[in-house]
Chain A
Amino acid sequence: MLDKNGIAKRIAKEVKDGMFVNLGIGIPTLVANFIPPGMSVELQSENGILGMGPFPFEGEEDADLINAGKQTVTLLKGSSIFDSAMSFGMIRAQKVDLTILGAMEVSENGDIANWKIPGKMVKGMGGAMDLVASAKNIIVAMQQVNKAGQSKLLPKCDLPLTGINCIKKVVTELGVYDILPEGGFKLIETAPGVTVDDIKKATAGKLVISEHVKEMAI
């Protein structure tokens, strides 16, 4: 079973040289820590940065330079700054190659819910709806089972949707799944120490076991 860093580490293997990548808040942010040095990847932050760098050194924080999570950050060589309309323009025009974001629920047809729990949490969707509606390739980083032991990989989402038919891949503490165009979670990798039986118990939606399912190498 993977911890948060493990999930981030596995997702980092999907990041390829030359990609522009948007990382959501939470586990996705951790992915940046596992991108191999020497690989040219530019991180996009939807409040208006391409080429976002790590947190600043103590005492060097700049109130005018934050990421989409409102954290102080830095800029790397070759970075650029733009306004919010252009930021979502490049997202809509599919210039950003890969989007990695968290989810509360994913359905077997690639729907995602991650912005609202009616009556409980109503913070807003931020840029998530724009990202999932337009991104070429979206990977979800999430916990597969909630605290009550219920699966969050579902036949159909219960929570209000963020986007429909948009998720291509899900990485959880238990495994890696491709979402099939005809519907279903295709298990392609299991996390170390996790069996296919464990995964069957933790998947409420349609599960397809790949013939070539293997243990994750991380």
Chain B
Amino acid sequence: MINRVVKNAEEALKGVKDNQTIMFGGFGLCGIPENCINQMIKMGTKGITAISNNAGVDDFGLGLLLQTKQIKKMISSYVGENEEFERQMLSGELEVELIPQGTLATRCLAAAYGMPVIYTPAGVGTEVAIGKEVRKFKYNGQEKEYLMEAAFEADFAIVKAWKGDTAGNLIFKSTARNFNPMMAMAGKITVAEVEQLVPAGELDPDQIHTPGIYVHRIFQGSHYEKRIEQRTVRKKN
């Protein structure tokens, strides 16, 4: 067994430099790598190109790295809940590339599976298609147009899992899974922070979502806040 364990976020993010492309797992504030985001603030890494479905909120998640102006460019599908983001985008301080959510997920998957491009119908005929190769394919009995989209290339992928073992195998919990498995497989160096780190052998191999071959560094995170963005409830009876 190859041991993937590092001590903490500081050790896990060794080698992160200015002006790199970094993937961050999570959907909204769900399943985000809280420990690593805090560590990146401490490190003061600048010029980050962040690939992440969302941009957090003003005072949590990637919103924290926007406040400190460490992010140069965001590649996301939806960035609605963040005023600082909007301000930086409208003033031109922050470069933003908005892409369809499925395209974002599948471009990660392409990197994970060793495929340089994918073809997707998402965005055909819209401004997303500008400058992209369009091809017609017949699929499911229907001929239609598809856009060619490239696999992402990320220097680091930073993800959050529920459980992990010392061999780097990961299991995610509930909808905190979201983009984490694809991103975990797509980084040149993948860092996973987990709520529970267990010795290799304790996780059932049949239940593993991401095999350790994709995960270079793993550590047990602490002090998870797990903030809820929209607390919606119903009353009993």
Contact = CB atoms under 8 A, between A and B. Distances in A.
A36 B129 CA distance: 40
Nearest to A94: B140
A93 B173 CA distance: 25
A57 B77 contact: no
Q: Which of the listed residues B79, B96, B101, B179 has the most CB atoms from chain A within 10 Å of its own CB?
A: B101
Given A49-B175, A163-B125, 4 more contacts: A48-B178, A62-B174, A83-B178, A88-B105
A125 B29 contact: no
A73 B178 contact: no
For chain A, what secondary structure do more than half of its interface residues adopt (helix, strand, loop), or is it mixed? Answer: loop
Interface in B102-127: 102-106, 108-109, 120-127
B235 A129 contact: no
Contacts of B235: 57-58
Interface stretch (B11-19, B40-48, B150-158, B221-229): B221-229
A64 B78 contact: no
Contacts of A165: 125
A163 B176 CA distance: 29
Contacts of A56: 233-234
Interface residues of B, number: 60
A147 interface: no
Contacts, number: 180
A126 B228 contact: no
Q: Which of the listed residues A54, A129, A162 has the most CB atoms from chain B within 10 Å of its own CB?
A: A129
Nearest to A67: B175
Interface string B198-237: 0000000000010000000000000000111111111110
Interface of B: 27-31, 53, 76-81, 86, 89, 96, 98-106, 108-109, 120-128, 140, 162, 172-182, 209, 226-236
B229 A70 contact: yes
Contacts of A73: 232
A71 B121 CA distance: 28
Contacts of A164: 124-126
11 contacts: A56-B233, A58-B236, A59-B233, A64-B176, A65-B175, A67-B175, A124-B77, A125-B99, A130-B100, A133-B123, A164-B126
Interface string A149-173: 0000000000011111100000000
